[in-house]
Chain A
Amino acid sequence: MIILEDVNKSYGKGAPALNNISLHIEKGEFAFIVGDSGSGKSTLIKLLLKELTPTSGKIYVNNTDVTRLKHSRIPKYRRGIGTVFQDFRLLKDRNVYENVAFAQRVISVPGREIRKNVPSVLSLVGLAEKYKSKPKELSGGEQQRVALARAIINKPRILLADEPTGNLDPKNSWEIMKLLEQINKNGTTVLVVTHNREIVNEMRKRVITMKKGVIISDQKKGGYIDED
Protein backbone atom coordinates (compact mmCIF):
# COMPACT_ATOMS: atom_id res chain seq x y z
CA MET A 1 0.00 0.00 0.00
CA ILE A 2 2.72 2.50 1.05
CA ILE A 3 6.33 1.67 0.18
CA LEU A 4 9.34 3.92 0.71
CA GLU A 5 12.70 2.72 -0.62
CA ASP A 6 15.88 4.52 0.45
CA VAL A 7 14.15 7.89 0.47
CA ASN A 8 16.27 10.99 1.06
CA LYS A 9 15.04 14.53 1.22
CA SER A 10 17.26 17.57 1.68
CA TYR A 11 16.33 21.25 1.76
CA GLY A 12 19.38 23.18 0.54
CA LYS A 13 22.78 22.40 2.02
CA GLY A 14 21.71 21.64 5.62
CA ALA A 15 21.27 18.26 7.24
CA PRO A 16 18.79 16.05 5.33
CA ALA A 17 15.19 16.13 6.56
CA LEU A 18 14.89 12.42 5.69
CA ASN A 19 17.92 10.18 5.59
CA ASN A 20 17.66 6.91 3.71
CA ILE A 21 14.17 5.98 4.91
CA SER A 22 12.68 2.62 3.93
CA LEU A 23 9.20 1.71 5.07
CA HIS A 24 6.38 -0.69 4.19
CA ILE A 25 2.84 -0.09 5.37
CA GLU A 26 0.35 -2.77 4.40
CA LYS A 27 -3.15 -2.28 3.12
CA GLY A 28 -5.60 -1.83 6.02
CA GLU A 29 -2.87 -1.19 8.58
CA PHE A 30 -3.08 1.37 11.43
CA ALA A 31 0.26 2.99 12.27
CA PHE A 32 1.49 5.84 14.41
CA ILE A 33 4.47 7.96 13.40
CA VAL A 34 6.02 9.63 16.41
CA GLY A 35 9.04 11.83 16.97
CA ASP A 36 10.15 15.26 18.09
CA SER A 37 9.96 18.41 16.02
CA GLY A 38 12.49 18.21 13.19
CA SER A 39 12.42 14.42 13.13
CA GLY A 40 11.05 14.42 9.55
CA LYS A 41 7.39 13.47 10.19
CA SER A 42 5.95 16.43 8.30
CA THR A 43 8.36 15.94 5.40
CA LEU A 44 7.22 12.33 5.20
CA ILE A 45 3.55 13.37 5.05
CA LYS A 46 4.34 15.99 2.36
CA LEU A 47 6.17 13.40 0.29
CA LEU A 48 3.21 11.03 0.52
CA LEU A 49 0.88 13.83 -0.59
CA LYS A 50 3.25 14.71 -3.44
CA GLU A 51 3.65 18.21 -2.07
CA LEU A 52 7.38 17.50 -2.15
CA THR A 53 9.56 15.29 -4.31
CA PRO A 54 12.32 13.21 -2.70
CA THR A 55 15.93 14.07 -3.44
CA SER A 56 16.49 10.36 -4.10
CA GLY A 57 14.72 7.05 -3.52
CA LYS A 58 11.35 5.66 -4.53
CA ILE A 59 7.85 6.07 -3.10
CA TYR A 60 4.93 3.85 -4.11
CA VAL A 61 1.40 4.53 -2.89
CA ASN A 62 -1.62 2.48 -4.00
CA ASN A 63 0.64 0.93 -6.66
CA THR A 64 1.54 4.36 -8.05
CA ASP A 65 5.18 5.41 -8.41
CA VAL A 66 4.76 8.79 -6.70
CA THR A 67 8.28 9.95 -7.53
CA ARG A 68 7.52 9.75 -11.25
CA LEU A 69 3.97 11.04 -11.07
CA LYS A 70 3.19 13.68 -13.71
CA HIS A 71 1.78 17.02 -12.58
CA SER A 72 -1.50 16.42 -14.42
CA ARG A 73 -2.05 13.14 -12.51
CA ILE A 74 -1.49 14.56 -9.02
CA PRO A 75 -5.17 15.51 -8.41
CA LYS A 76 -6.39 12.00 -9.20
CA TYR A 77 -3.64 10.50 -7.01
CA ARG A 78 -4.59 12.73 -4.07
CA ARG A 79 -8.20 11.60 -4.27
CA GLY A 80 -6.99 8.26 -2.94
CA ILE A 81 -5.65 9.88 0.24
CA GLY A 82 -7.72 11.59 2.93
CA THR A 83 -6.00 14.12 5.20
CA VAL A 84 -6.76 15.50 8.63
CA PHE A 85 -4.75 18.24 10.36
CA GLN A 86 -4.26 19.54 13.89
CA ASP A 87 -5.90 22.89 13.02
CA PHE A 88 -8.94 21.22 11.33
CA ARG A 89 -8.70 23.51 8.25
CA LEU A 90 -12.44 23.98 7.90
CA LEU A 91 -13.96 26.73 5.78
CA LYS A 92 -15.24 29.17 8.36
CA ASP A 93 -17.84 30.79 6.13
CA ARG A 94 -19.59 27.50 5.39
CA ASN A 95 -21.68 25.22 7.56
CA VAL A 96 -20.91 21.60 8.43
CA TYR A 97 -22.84 20.22 5.44
CA GLU A 98 -21.11 22.58 2.99
CA ASN A 99 -17.67 21.83 4.43
CA VAL A 100 -18.14 18.12 3.83
CA ALA A 101 -19.92 18.54 0.49
CA PHE A 102 -17.04 20.78 -0.63
CA ALA A 103 -14.75 17.73 -0.84
CA GLN A 104 -17.09 16.15 -3.37
CA ARG A 105 -18.00 19.33 -5.26
CA VAL A 106 -14.38 20.09 -6.15
CA ILE A 107 -13.92 16.66 -7.69
CA SER A 108 -17.13 16.94 -9.72
CA VAL A 109 -19.31 14.38 -7.89
CA PRO A 110 -22.92 14.68 -9.15
CA GLY A 111 -25.23 16.70 -6.90
CA ARG A 112 -27.64 13.83 -6.14
CA GLU A 113 -24.73 11.69 -4.88
CA ILE A 114 -23.48 14.53 -2.70
CA ARG A 115 -26.96 14.87 -1.17
CA LYS A 116 -26.91 11.15 -0.39
CA ASN A 117 -23.28 10.85 0.82
CA VAL A 118 -23.00 13.88 3.11
CA PRO A 119 -25.77 12.93 5.60
CA SER A 120 -24.46 9.38 5.66
CA VAL A 121 -20.88 10.38 6.52
CA LEU A 122 -22.10 12.98 9.03
CA SER A 123 -24.04 10.21 10.80
CA LEU A 124 -20.88 8.14 10.91
CA VAL A 125 -18.99 10.88 12.77
CA GLY A 126 -22.04 11.69 14.94
CA LEU A 127 -22.80 15.14 13.58
CA ALA A 128 -25.96 14.49 11.55
CA GLU A 129 -27.97 16.92 13.65
CA LYS A 130 -25.41 19.72 13.44
CA TYR A 131 -25.24 19.91 9.67
CA LYS A 132 -26.35 23.55 9.67
CA SER A 133 -23.83 24.75 12.25
CA LYS A 134 -20.89 26.93 11.32
CA PRO A 135 -17.42 25.78 12.55
CA LYS A 136 -17.25 28.53 15.19
CA GLU A 137 -20.44 27.10 16.78
CA LEU A 138 -18.76 23.70 17.29
CA SER A 139 -16.32 22.42 19.91
CA GLY A 140 -12.77 21.45 18.88
CA GLY A 141 -13.70 17.78 18.90
CA GLU A 142 -16.72 18.41 16.71
CA GLN A 143 -14.67 20.46 14.29
CA GLN A 144 -12.15 17.64 14.00
CA ARG A 145 -15.01 15.21 13.32
CA VAL A 146 -16.19 17.46 10.49
CA ALA A 147 -12.63 17.40 9.13
CA LEU A 148 -12.66 13.61 9.40
CA ALA A 149 -15.99 13.42 7.59
CA ARG A 150 -14.54 15.60 4.83
CA ALA A 151 -11.43 13.39 4.64
CA ILE A 152 -13.35 10.13 4.24
CA ILE A 153 -16.34 11.16 2.13
CA ASN A 154 -14.46 10.40 -1.10
CA LYS A 155 -13.66 6.92 0.27
CA PRO A 156 -9.87 7.21 0.21
CA ARG A 157 -7.79 4.05 0.57
CA ILE A 158 -5.38 5.86 2.90
CA LEU A 159 -6.07 8.37 5.67
CA LEU A 160 -3.20 10.60 6.84
CA ALA A 161 -3.84 12.31 10.17
CA ASP A 162 -1.24 14.92 11.13
CA GLU A 163 -1.53 15.58 14.91
CA PRO A 164 -5.32 15.08 14.83
CA THR A 165 -5.61 15.42 18.62
CA GLY A 166 -3.08 18.23 19.02
CA ASN A 167 -5.74 20.84 19.82
CA LEU A 168 -8.15 18.61 21.73
CA ASP A 169 -8.77 17.70 25.37
CA PRO A 170 -8.31 14.03 26.37
CA LYS A 171 -12.01 13.15 26.06
CA ASN A 172 -12.32 14.55 22.54
CA SER A 173 -8.92 13.10 21.63
CA TRP A 174 -10.16 9.62 22.48
CA GLU A 175 -13.37 10.12 20.51
CA ILE A 176 -11.34 11.07 17.44
CA MET A 177 -9.03 8.09 17.90
CA LYS A 178 -12.04 5.77 18.19
CA LEU A 179 -13.38 7.17 14.95
CA LEU A 180 -10.02 6.65 13.26
CA GLU A 181 -10.00 3.07 14.51
CA GLN A 182 -13.51 2.53 13.16
CA ILE A 183 -12.51 3.98 9.79
CA ASN A 184 -9.51 1.64 9.80
CA LYS A 185 -11.75 -1.34 10.57
CA ASN A 186 -13.78 -0.45 7.48
CA GLY A 187 -10.65 -1.11 5.41
CA THR A 188 -8.89 2.24 5.18
CA THR A 189 -5.15 2.34 5.89
CA VAL A 190 -4.63 4.92 8.65
CA LEU A 191 -1.35 6.73 9.35
CA VAL A 192 -1.37 9.01 12.40
CA VAL A 193 1.40 11.46 13.23
CA THR A 194 1.15 12.31 16.91
CA HIS A 195 2.87 13.45 20.09
CA ASN A 196 0.15 11.99 22.30
CA ARG A 197 2.05 9.51 24.48
CA GLU A 198 -1.04 8.23 26.28
CA ILE A 199 -2.96 7.39 23.12
CA VAL A 200 0.01 5.68 21.46
CA ASN A 201 0.71 3.59 24.56
CA GLU A 202 -2.93 2.70 25.11
CA MET A 203 -3.89 1.69 21.55
CA ARG A 204 -1.08 -0.82 21.03
CA LYS A 205 -0.78 -0.27 17.26
CA ARG A 206 2.27 -0.19 15.04
CA VAL A 207 4.55 2.66 16.11
CA ILE A 208 7.24 4.10 13.84
CA THR A 209 9.59 6.40 15.74
CA MET A 210 11.66 8.99 13.87
CA LYS A 211 14.58 11.10 14.97
CA LYS A 212 16.57 13.59 12.87
CA GLY A 213 15.26 12.14 9.61
CA VAL A 214 15.89 8.52 10.46
CA ILE A 215 13.54 5.73 11.61
CA ILE A 216 15.00 4.66 14.93
CA SER A 217 12.30 2.18 15.87
CA ASP A 218 9.44 0.31 14.16
CA GLN A 219 7.35 -1.82 16.60
CA LYS A 220 4.36 -3.93 15.56
CA LYS A 221 2.38 -3.36 18.76
CA GLY A 222 4.50 -0.70 20.28
CA GLY A 223 4.47 2.21 22.63
CA TYR A 224 5.84 5.73 22.72
CA ILE A 225 9.62 5.72 22.97
CA ASP A 226 11.07 8.43 25.15
CA GLU A 227 14.06 9.68 23.24
CA ASP A 228 15.76 11.32 26.22
Chain B
Amino acid sequence: MRINTFFYTIGQGIKNIWRNKLFSLATIATIASCVFLFGLLYSVVLNFQNIVKQAQAGVAVTVFFEEGTSDERIAEIGEEIKKRGEVSKVVFISAEEAWESFKAESLGEYVDSFGDDNPLENDSNYEIYLNDVSMQSSLVDYIEKLDGVRTVNKSVIVASMLTSVNSLIAYVSLGIIGILLAVSIFLISNTVSLGITVRKEEIAIMKLIGATDFVVHAPFIFEGMILGFVGSALPLTAIYFVYVNVVEYLQNKFKVLDSLLRFLDIHQIFSTLVPVSIALGVGIGFLGSFFTAKKHLKV
Protein backbone atom coordinates (compact mmCIF):
# COMPACT_ATOMS: atom_id res chain seq x y z
CA MET B 1 0.00 0.00 0.00
CA ARG B 2 1.29 3.45 -0.92
CA ILE B 3 1.95 5.91 1.86
CA ASN B 4 -0.65 8.38 0.55
CA THR B 5 -3.26 5.59 0.40
CA PHE B 6 -2.38 4.69 3.98
CA PHE B 7 -2.88 8.26 5.18
CA TYR B 8 -5.99 8.57 3.02
CA THR B 9 -7.60 5.55 4.68
CA ILE B 10 -6.63 6.79 8.16
CA GLY B 11 -8.05 10.21 7.28
CA GLN B 12 -11.29 8.63 6.10
CA GLY B 13 -11.47 6.59 9.31
CA ILE B 14 -11.16 9.76 11.39
CA LYS B 15 -13.74 11.52 9.19
CA ASN B 16 -16.14 8.61 9.71
CA ILE B 17 -15.82 9.09 13.46
CA TRP B 18 -16.50 12.80 13.07
CA ARG B 19 -19.47 12.24 10.75
CA ASN B 20 -21.13 9.86 13.26
CA LYS B 21 -20.16 11.88 16.32
CA LEU B 22 -22.96 10.67 18.56
CA PHE B 23 -22.56 6.99 17.78
CA SER B 24 -18.80 7.29 18.04
CA LEU B 25 -19.13 8.94 21.45
CA ALA B 26 -21.54 6.22 22.58
CA THR B 27 -19.12 3.55 21.41
CA ILE B 28 -16.14 5.21 23.07
CA ALA B 29 -18.16 5.59 26.27
CA THR B 30 -19.13 1.91 26.27
CA ILE B 31 -15.63 0.66 25.53
CA ALA B 32 -14.33 3.09 28.15
CA SER B 33 -16.80 1.69 30.72
CA CYS B 34 -15.79 -1.85 29.84
CA VAL B 35 -12.08 -1.12 30.08
CA PHE B 36 -12.62 0.93 33.25
CA LEU B 37 -14.44 -1.99 34.90
CA PHE B 38 -11.82 -4.38 33.58
CA GLY B 39 -9.07 -2.15 34.99
CA LEU B 40 -10.75 -1.87 38.39
CA LEU B 41 -11.37 -5.60 38.50
CA TYR B 42 -7.81 -6.30 37.45
CA SER B 43 -6.47 -3.93 40.15
CA VAL B 44 -8.64 -5.59 42.80
CA VAL B 45 -7.72 -9.11 41.69
CA LEU B 46 -4.03 -8.29 41.53
CA ASN B 47 -4.08 -6.70 44.98
CA PHE B 48 -6.11 -9.55 46.38
CA GLN B 49 -3.70 -12.05 44.92
CA ASN B 50 -0.88 -10.08 46.47
CA ILE B 51 -2.60 -10.15 49.87
CA VAL B 52 -3.32 -13.87 49.44
CA LYS B 53 0.30 -14.46 48.50
CA GLN B 54 1.48 -12.63 51.59
CA ALA B 55 -1.00 -14.57 53.72
CA GLN B 56 0.06 -17.82 52.06
CA ALA B 57 3.67 -17.02 52.79
CA GLY B 58 2.72 -16.79 56.48
CA VAL B 59 0.79 -20.07 56.52
CA ALA B 60 3.06 -22.74 57.93
CA VAL B 61 2.69 -26.41 58.76
CA THR B 62 4.40 -27.32 62.05
CA VAL B 63 5.84 -30.80 62.54
CA PHE B 64 6.58 -32.18 66.04
CA PHE B 65 8.55 -35.35 66.73
CA GLU B 66 7.99 -38.39 68.93
CA GLU B 67 9.86 -38.40 72.23
CA GLY B 68 13.33 -39.83 71.88
CA THR B 69 13.64 -39.28 68.12
CA SER B 70 17.34 -38.91 67.35
CA ASP B 71 18.81 -35.75 65.85
CA GLU B 72 19.84 -37.79 62.81
CA ARG B 73 16.27 -38.95 62.19
CA ILE B 74 14.98 -35.39 62.64
CA ALA B 75 17.51 -34.22 60.04
CA GLU B 76 16.38 -37.05 57.70
CA ILE B 77 12.74 -36.01 58.09
CA GLY B 78 13.78 -32.44 57.21
CA GLU B 79 15.55 -33.62 54.07
CA GLU B 80 12.58 -35.73 52.96
CA ILE B 81 10.19 -32.80 53.40
CA LYS B 82 12.49 -30.44 51.49
CA LYS B 83 12.30 -32.74 48.48
CA ARG B 84 8.55 -32.02 48.05
CA GLY B 85 7.73 -29.60 45.21
CA GLU B 86 5.06 -27.65 47.12
CA VAL B 87 7.50 -26.83 49.95
CA SER B 88 9.18 -23.44 49.66
CA LYS B 89 11.05 -23.33 52.97
CA VAL B 90 11.77 -25.61 55.96
CA VAL B 91 12.91 -23.98 59.20
CA PHE B 92 14.12 -26.06 62.16
CA ILE B 93 13.14 -24.68 65.56
CA SER B 94 15.06 -26.32 68.40
CA ALA B 95 13.43 -26.85 71.82
CA GLU B 96 15.55 -24.01 73.16
CA GLU B 97 14.56 -21.63 70.40
CA ALA B 98 10.91 -22.55 70.86
CA TRP B 99 11.11 -21.84 74.58
CA GLU B 100 12.95 -18.54 74.09
CA SER B 101 10.42 -17.42 71.57
CA PHE B 102 7.47 -18.44 73.76
CA LYS B 103 9.01 -16.66 76.76
CA ALA B 104 9.47 -13.45 74.81
CA GLU B 105 6.01 -13.48 73.26
CA SER B 106 3.80 -14.79 76.06
CA LEU B 107 5.29 -14.98 79.59
CA GLY B 108 6.41 -11.45 80.32
CA GLU B 109 6.94 -10.93 84.11
CA TYR B 110 6.15 -14.61 84.93
CA VAL B 111 9.20 -15.87 83.12
CA ASP B 112 11.31 -16.20 86.30
CA SER B 113 8.92 -18.73 87.88
CA PHE B 114 10.14 -21.40 85.44
CA GLY B 115 13.76 -21.12 86.52
CA ASP B 116 16.05 -23.09 84.18
CA ASP B 117 13.36 -25.62 83.19
CA ASN B 118 12.31 -25.87 79.57
CA PRO B 119 8.67 -27.02 79.44
CA LEU B 120 9.02 -27.31 75.64
CA GLU B 121 11.87 -29.81 75.90
CA ASN B 122 10.17 -32.23 73.50
CA ASP B 123 8.79 -29.55 71.21
CA SER B 124 11.58 -28.99 68.72
CA ASN B 125 9.87 -28.77 65.34
CA TYR B 126 9.97 -27.91 61.70
CA GLU B 127 8.06 -24.92 60.35
CA ILE B 128 7.24 -25.67 56.75
CA TYR B 129 6.20 -22.94 54.31
CA LEU B 130 4.41 -23.73 51.03
CA ASN B 131 4.44 -22.40 47.48
CA ASP B 132 0.79 -23.29 47.07
CA VAL B 133 -1.56 -23.44 50.05
CA SER B 134 -3.99 -25.71 48.20
CA MET B 135 -1.40 -28.51 48.45
CA GLN B 136 -1.35 -28.32 52.24
CA SER B 137 -3.52 -31.35 53.00
CA SER B 138 -1.61 -33.72 50.72
CA LEU B 139 1.65 -32.57 52.31
CA VAL B 140 0.23 -33.11 55.81
CA ASP B 141 -0.92 -36.64 54.85
CA TYR B 142 2.59 -37.39 53.64
CA ILE B 143 4.35 -36.02 56.72
CA GLU B 144 2.01 -37.81 59.14
CA LYS B 145 3.11 -41.14 57.68
CA LEU B 146 6.81 -40.46 58.27
CA ASP B 147 8.50 -42.41 61.11
CA GLY B 148 9.23 -40.29 64.13
CA VAL B 149 6.53 -37.71 63.49
CA ARG B 150 4.26 -37.19 66.51
CA THR B 151 1.87 -34.58 65.28
CA VAL B 152 1.40 -32.09 62.48
CA ASN B 153 -0.29 -28.73 63.06
CA LYS B 154 -1.97 -27.09 60.08
CA SER B 155 -4.27 -24.17 59.35
CA VAL B 156 -6.95 -25.86 57.30
CA ILE B 157 -9.52 -23.05 57.33
CA VAL B 158 -7.14 -20.32 56.23
CA ALA B 159 -5.70 -22.45 53.46
CA SER B 160 -8.97 -23.58 51.95
CA MET B 161 -10.63 -20.17 52.33
CA LEU B 162 -7.81 -18.34 50.57
CA THR B 163 -7.78 -20.87 47.76
CA SER B 164 -11.56 -20.72 47.27
CA VAL B 165 -11.81 -16.92 47.35
CA ASN B 166 -8.97 -16.64 44.88
CA SER B 167 -10.66 -19.05 42.45
CA LEU B 168 -14.04 -17.36 42.90
CA ILE B 169 -12.64 -13.93 42.06
CA ALA B 170 -10.89 -15.33 38.98
CA TYR B 171 -14.09 -16.99 37.67
CA VAL B 172 -16.35 -14.00 38.37
CA SER B 173 -13.82 -11.69 36.69
CA LEU B 174 -13.60 -13.87 33.61
CA GLY B 175 -17.41 -13.99 33.37
CA ILE B 176 -17.82 -10.21 33.66
CA ILE B 177 -15.01 -9.52 31.21
CA GLY B 178 -16.55 -11.93 28.71
CA ILE B 179 -19.93 -10.15 28.87
CA LEU B 180 -18.30 -6.72 28.56
CA LEU B 181 -16.32 -7.87 25.53
CA ALA B 182 -19.45 -9.10 23.79
CA VAL B 183 -21.28 -5.81 24.46
CA SER B 184 -18.34 -3.78 23.14
CA ILE B 185 -18.04 -5.81 19.94
CA PHE B 186 -21.78 -5.45 19.36
CA LEU B 187 -21.57 -1.67 19.76
CA ILE B 188 -18.55 -1.29 17.50
CA SER B 189 -20.33 -3.36 14.90
CA ASN B 190 -23.39 -1.07 15.11
CA THR B 191 -21.29 2.08 14.80
CA VAL B 192 -19.42 0.73 11.80
CA SER B 193 -22.69 -0.42 10.19
CA LEU B 194 -24.06 3.08 10.60
CA GLY B 195 -20.90 4.53 9.05
CA ILE B 196 -21.26 2.18 6.11
CA THR B 197 -24.91 3.19 5.62
CA VAL B 198 -23.99 6.89 5.72
CA ARG B 199 -21.21 6.36 3.16
CA LYS B 200 -23.11 3.90 0.99
CA GLU B 201 -22.92 6.12 -2.09
CA GLU B 202 -19.22 6.83 -1.68
CA ILE B 203 -18.51 3.11 -1.25
CA ALA B 204 -20.50 2.31 -4.40
CA ILE B 205 -18.44 4.87 -6.35
CA MET B 206 -15.20 3.49 -4.92
CA LYS B 207 -16.16 0.00 -6.07
CA LEU B 208 -17.06 1.21 -9.56
CA ILE B 209 -13.78 3.10 -9.90
CA GLY B 210 -11.89 -0.07 -9.05
CA ALA B 211 -10.87 0.33 -5.43
CA THR B 212 -9.66 -2.94 -3.91
CA ASP B 213 -11.45 -4.61 -1.01
CA PHE B 214 -8.66 -3.41 1.25
CA VAL B 215 -9.06 0.26 0.32
CA VAL B 216 -12.84 0.01 0.71
CA HIS B 217 -12.63 -1.80 4.07
CA ALA B 218 -9.61 -0.09 5.62
CA PRO B 219 -11.24 3.23 6.69
CA PHE B 220 -13.89 1.32 8.65
CA ILE B 221 -11.34 -0.95 10.26
CA PHE B 222 -9.19 2.06 11.19
CA GLU B 223 -12.33 3.72 12.56
CA GLY B 224 -13.01 0.72 14.80
CA MET B 225 -9.40 0.55 15.96
CA ILE B 226 -9.26 4.29 16.70
CA LEU B 227 -12.51 4.07 18.69
CA GLY B 228 -11.09 1.08 20.55
CA PHE B 229 -7.83 2.89 21.28
CA VAL B 230 -9.48 6.07 22.58
CA GLY B 231 -12.03 3.98 24.48
CA SER B 232 -9.24 2.16 26.30
CA ALA B 233 -6.83 5.07 26.81
CA LEU B 234 -9.36 7.34 28.56
CA PRO B 235 -10.32 4.95 31.39
CA LEU B 236 -6.66 4.12 32.03
CA THR B 237 -6.11 7.77 32.94
CA ALA B 238 -9.17 7.64 35.20
CA ILE B 239 -8.02 4.38 36.82
CA TYR B 240 -4.61 5.92 37.54
CA PHE B 241 -6.10 8.76 39.57
CA VAL B 242 -8.82 6.66 41.22
CA TYR B 243 -6.33 3.96 42.27
CA VAL B 244 -3.71 6.33 43.65
CA ASN B 245 -6.31 8.26 45.67
CA VAL B 246 -8.23 5.22 46.94
CA VAL B 247 -5.03 3.46 48.06
CA GLU B 248 -3.83 6.61 49.80
CA TYR B 249 -7.21 7.00 51.53
CA LEU B 250 -7.32 3.36 52.68
CA GLN B 251 -3.76 3.45 53.95
CA ASN B 252 -4.46 6.60 55.97
CA LYS B 253 -7.85 5.46 57.22
CA PHE B 254 -6.90 1.89 58.19
CA LYS B 255 -3.38 2.24 59.56
CA VAL B 256 -4.12 -0.60 62.00
CA LEU B 257 -4.41 -3.02 59.07
CA ASP B 258 -1.17 -1.83 57.55
CA SER B 259 0.48 -5.22 57.84
CA LEU B 260 -2.47 -6.99 56.19
CA LEU B 261 -3.43 -4.43 53.51
CA ARG B 262 -0.27 -4.05 51.53
CA PHE B 263 -1.35 -2.52 48.21
CA LEU B 264 0.61 -2.82 45.03
CA ASP B 265 2.22 0.26 43.54
CA ILE B 266 0.28 1.72 40.58
CA HIS B 267 3.26 1.12 38.29
CA GLN B 268 3.24 -2.59 39.12
CA ILE B 269 -0.41 -2.72 38.02
CA PHE B 270 -0.01 -0.48 34.98
CA SER B 271 2.97 -2.38 33.60
CA THR B 272 0.51 -5.10 32.58
CA LEU B 273 -2.80 -3.25 32.61
CA VAL B 274 -1.82 -0.60 30.01
CA PRO B 275 -0.70 -2.95 27.22
CA VAL B 276 -3.50 -5.42 27.95
CA SER B 277 -6.20 -2.71 27.98
CA ILE B 278 -4.92 -1.02 24.83
CA ALA B 279 -4.68 -4.39 23.08
CA LEU B 280 -8.18 -5.20 24.34
CA GLY B 281 -9.66 -1.91 23.08
CA VAL B 282 -7.88 -1.98 19.73
CA GLY B 283 -8.62 -5.71 19.41
CA ILE B 284 -12.34 -5.20 20.09
CA GLY B 285 -12.32 -2.34 17.55
CA PHE B 286 -10.54 -4.43 14.96
CA LEU B 287 -12.71 -7.51 15.35
CA GLY B 288 -16.00 -5.61 15.48
CA SER B 289 -15.21 -3.47 12.44
CA PHE B 290 -13.45 -6.16 10.41
CA PHE B 291 -16.35 -8.60 10.43
CA THR B 292 -18.96 -5.87 10.00
CA ALA B 293 -17.11 -4.37 7.03
CA LYS B 294 -16.64 -7.81 5.52
CA LYS B 295 -20.34 -8.57 5.93
CA HIS B 296 -21.64 -5.28 4.49
CA LEU B 297 -19.03 -4.48 1.88
CA LYS B 298 -18.93 -7.41 -0.48
CA VAL B 299 -17.38 -5.89 -3.63
Interface residues of A (CB under 8 A from B): 49, 71-72, 74-79, 83, 89, 91, 102-103, 105-108, 110-111, 150, 154
Contact = CB atoms under 8 A, between A and B. Distances in A.
Contacts of A83: 208
A74 B215 contact: no
Interface string B171-214: 00000000000000000000000000000011011111111110
Contacts of B216: 106
Given A75-B213, A76-B210, 20 more contacts: A72-B213, A74-B299, A75-B210, A78-B208, A78-B210, A79-B210, A83-B208, A89-B204, A91-B202, A103-B209, A106-B8, A106-B206, A106-B215, A107-B215, A108-B1, A108-B2, A108-B5, A108-B215, A110-B4, A154-B209
A107 B4 contact: no
7 closest Cβ pairs, A-B complex: A79-B210, A78-B210, A106-B211, A108-B5, A75-B210, A111-B4, A108-B2
Contact of B209 (A71, A78, A110, A111): A78
A14 B183 CA distance: 44
Contacts of B206: 106
A107 B211 contact: yes
Contacts of B1: 108
B2 A110 contact: yes
14 contacts: A49-B208, A75-B207, A75-B210, A75-B211, A75-B212, A75-B299, A78-B207, A78-B208, A83-B208, A105-B8, A107-B209, A107-B210, A110-B2, A111-B4
Contacts of A105: 4-5, 8
A49 B209 CA distance: 10
A154 to B, nearest CB: 7
A89 B207 contact: no
B205 A91 contact: yes
Nearest to B4: A111
Interface in B1-50: 1-2, 4-5, 8
B209 to A, nearest CB: 5
A79 B205 contact: no
Q: Is the interface of A mostly helix, strand, loop or mixed?
A: helix
Contacts of A76: 210
A103 B208 CA distance: 10
Contacts of B299: 71, 74-75
Given A74-B299, A105-B5, A108-B215, A89 B210 contact: no
A44 to B, nearest CB: 16
A173 to B, nearest CB: 23
For B204, B211, B216, the residue with the greatest tally of chain A CB atoms inside 10 Å of its CB is: B211
Contacts of A72: 213
Contacts of B205: 89, 91, 102
Nearest to A153: B209
Nearest to B205: A89
Interface string B235-262: 0000000000000000000000000000
B74 to A, nearest CB: 77
Nearest to A160: B208
Contacts of B207: 75, 78
A140 to B, nearest CB: 18
B165 to A, nearest CB: 55
A113 B216 CA distance: 21
A74 to B, nearest CB: 6
Contacts of A74: 299
Contacts of B5: 105, 108
A89 B215 CA distance: 19
Contacts of A111: 4
Contacts of A103: 209
Nearest to A82: B209
Contacts of B208: 49, 78, 83
Interface in B274-299: 299
A107 B204 CA distance: 14
A158 to B, nearest CB: 12
A159 B259 CA distance: 81
B296 to A, nearest CB: 16
Interface in B59-114: none
Nearest to A80: B210
Nearest to A92: B201
Nearest to B209: A103
A87 to B, nearest CB: 10
A79 B210 CA distance: 5
B210 A154 contact: yes
A124 to B, nearest CB: 18
A104 B209 CA distance: 9
A106 B2 contact: no
A110 B201 CA distance: 24
Contacts of A102: 205, 209
Contacts of B201: 89, 91
